[in-house]
Structures are given as structure tokens and as C-alpha cells.
Amino acid sequence: MSGPSVWALVTGTSAVDLRGVSRPLSLVLEGIVQTEVVQHCLVCGCTELEVVDKDNALNSCRSCKFVFDSPRPTVEELITFYSKFGQYDDWLEAGEARDRLWVTRVQKMLPTRRRGNLLDVGTGIGQFLHHAKPYFDDVYGTEVSSSAIEIARSRYGLDVFEGKLEDLQFKQKFDNITVFHVLEHVPDPRQLVDHCFELLNPAGMLYIAVPNELRSALRATKDRLGRLGIPRYRSTQRLGIPRIRLDGSMGEIHLSHFREESLQLLLQRAGFVVVEAGLDPYSVATGHRGLIDKSLLRVGNVVKRVTGVNIYDAIWMAAVKPVTS
């Protein structure tokens, strides 16, 4: 679904960049630091927004409570960030652990997947498609990072399209679309989900995984420890989410911060019917940390079954496009 842009460049004679530095607007526009201001909710479209953490540039929709960064980097800044040489070295070094992660996600899809083809949005270096390939007739990926695409093509021989999903032209529809830990990175999650709906065949499946930054038990525990005065956990971050930095101190940039309710609302507004809401087994940690993460996942699954609340670090959601849509 197309529509007017939901962001605009910072206006005025100066702008505060995402490192907290005030610069003349002319320098911002020349590309030293390019930022955007979100003007309405990226889930429900409401224009009634409020600042919930000024120090870390976090805002919330007064209607659906969706939380997002504003101001934030422009698309061009993000593409440059994710295309840096060596950006995916950590993924390559953790190859075996990440292979296990992707195999787990493939297995999680199998009970509800549709026979036919698969499109993976934001496929990265292609590990997921490599493991999913035996279960689908054809697999395709999209990716904005040129360095990731080069790895996916050379390492796995995958068919990967370069660019944002909304800007690409496909000759066919898809039976399954996956969007794993991508939605939090894109400038307009509503546009992406709407486009997935259009690209799916009737009865097609959409699978999404995102961080559970606002409701995880781990974040809540760190907050409590900080309030108790333990130095390691002291923070000026009201929601536990840091200000975006493009100085290399962050490996990934999250523009959106979902709760299960806001993600479900996003899917329903696009026309999807949610068929599964659970926990995403995202961790690739090994050793002592890996055992802790597995234990947290088990506890999270129990809590989810008993209370219906996801207290784990990541959300998994599967939705179907109705046949009558």
C-alpha cells in the first residue's frame, strides 16, 4: 500500500544528530549526519505522538503505544552502515552456532508452512535460505547490504535481489515470506508488512521475528539491579534502549521497538490473521551463556503457555493471508 512519506528531514537552522551533537543543518544535509523525524505512528498511523525518553530519542504512539526512534538515521545512512567492509565478520565466525539457529527456525516453520516457494526479506549472508532450500520448491532473498549479498551469492549460490522490498519488482507471487529480525531495522514497518501481504498468494504464510526489548524479563531484571545502585546496571535509559549511534559502537540499528500487541496490530491492519504468537529462539551463544539462554527460553515458554505473556528476549509471530482477501 503506497502513501505519503512518514518521515522528513530535520528542519530549522540546526539539528541534533544521533550522537547528541548539534550541527548546522547545512552540514547535516551535506551528508555528515543525515537524520529524519517520524511524523506519525508507523503501526496505526496516529499523529498523536509523545516523547518517552528525550535523552535517547524515543517516542511512543498515544493510541497503540508503539515505541520508535525519532530523530533517526536516513535510509541512505543505514545502507551505508550495513554495507561496511567486515560488517558480517561476526556472523561468519559464529557459523556453526548460527547454522543451528537457522535450522531451529526452519523446523519451527514446518508445521504451518505452505508448499511452494519462499522469499526471505533481509536475508543477510544467506544462511537461513541455505538451510530452508530443501523444504521449498524455490527460495529467494532480498537484501540492502551489498557486502552481505556478495557473501550469499559466493558462499551459498543464492538468488538474492538487492534493494528494499518495496522498490523491487517480482514476476511471481510467493507462498511463504520470512522477515526475521528485520522489521525493527526498516524505516517503515507498516509499508513492508503491507507489501508482504500483496506479494503472498492467498493462504500464504508470513513469519516474523523481532526483539522483545520492552517486555523481556532480562531487561526488567537489569532495570531493578540498576535501581538498587549496582554500578554495572546503572543507566540513563528510561526504557532500557540506548540512543542510536553510527560510530561503530553498535553492531545493529533498531528503529522500532515492538511489543507482541503492537506487532499483532500491525499484521491485522494489513489484512493478516495471526495463527501463532510465541518465542523466537534467537540466541547463538555457546558455553555458559548458551546454557543460560536455553534455560531462559524454557522458562519463557512455560510462562507463555500459562499466562499468555512473552517475557523472553524475542517474539515469533506467524500469520496467514486469508483466501478471501
Q: What is the pLDDT of residues 145-179, one digit of tens each?
A: 888 898 899 999 998 999 989 899 999 999 999 99
Q: Do the beta carbons of residue 148 and residue 124 sit within 8 Å?
A: yes
Render 63-125 in DSSP notation, one character per residue: TT--EEESSEE-HHHHHHHHTSTTTTHHHHHTHHHHHHHHHHHHHHHTTTPPSS-EEEET-TT
Predicted pLDDT at 79: 81
Residue carrying C-alpha cell 520508535: 68
CA distance 157 to 309: 40
Q: What is the CATH number of the domain that holds 159?
A: 3.40.50.150
Strand-pair category, 314-320 with 200-211: antiparallel
Q: In this structure, is residue 277 part of a structural domain?
A: yes
CA distance 174 to 189: 19
**DSSP assignment, residue 44?**
T
- Which tens digits make up the pLDDT trace of 117-147? 999 999 988 999 999 999 999 999 999 888 8
Strands (E), the chain: 7-9, 14-16, 22-24, 35-38, 49-53, 58-61, 67-69, 72-73, 118-121, 139-143, 160-162, 174-180, 200-211, 256-257, 273-279, 314-320
pTM above 0.75, yes or no: yes
Domain count, the chain: 1
Residue 140 pairs in a beta bridge with 119
Predicted pLDDT at 17: 43
Exposed (0-12), middle (13-18) or buried (19+): which is 303, by Cβ within 10 Å? middle
Q: In this structure, is residue 77 part of a structural domain?
A: no
Predicted pLDDT at 92: 53
- Which tens digits make up the pLDDT trace of 182-224? 999 999 999 999 999 999 999 999 999 999 989 888 777 777 7
Cis peptide, bond prior to residue 4, ω within 30 of zero: no
Q: In this structure, is residue 266 part of a structural domain?
A: yes
Q: In this structure, is residue 148 part of a structural domain?
A: yes
The three grid cell numbers given for residue 307, joined into one nine-digit string: 499466562
Q: What letter represents residue 314's amino acid?
A: A
Residue 59 pairs in a beta bridge with 51, 68
Exposed (0-12), middle (13-18) or buried (19+): which is 305, by Cβ within 10 Å? exposed
Q: In this structure, is residue 9 part of a structural domain?
A: no
Domain that holds residue 149: 89-215+249-320
**Per-residue confidence at 86, pLDDT binned at 50, 70, 90?**
low
Q: In this structure, is residue 79 part of a structural domain?
A: no
**141 CB-side CA count, 13 A:** 29
Q: In this structure, is residue 239 part of a structural domain?
A: no
Q: In this structure, is residue 159 part of a structural domain?
A: yes
Q: Do the beta carbons of residue 191 and residue 157 sit within 8 Å?
A: no
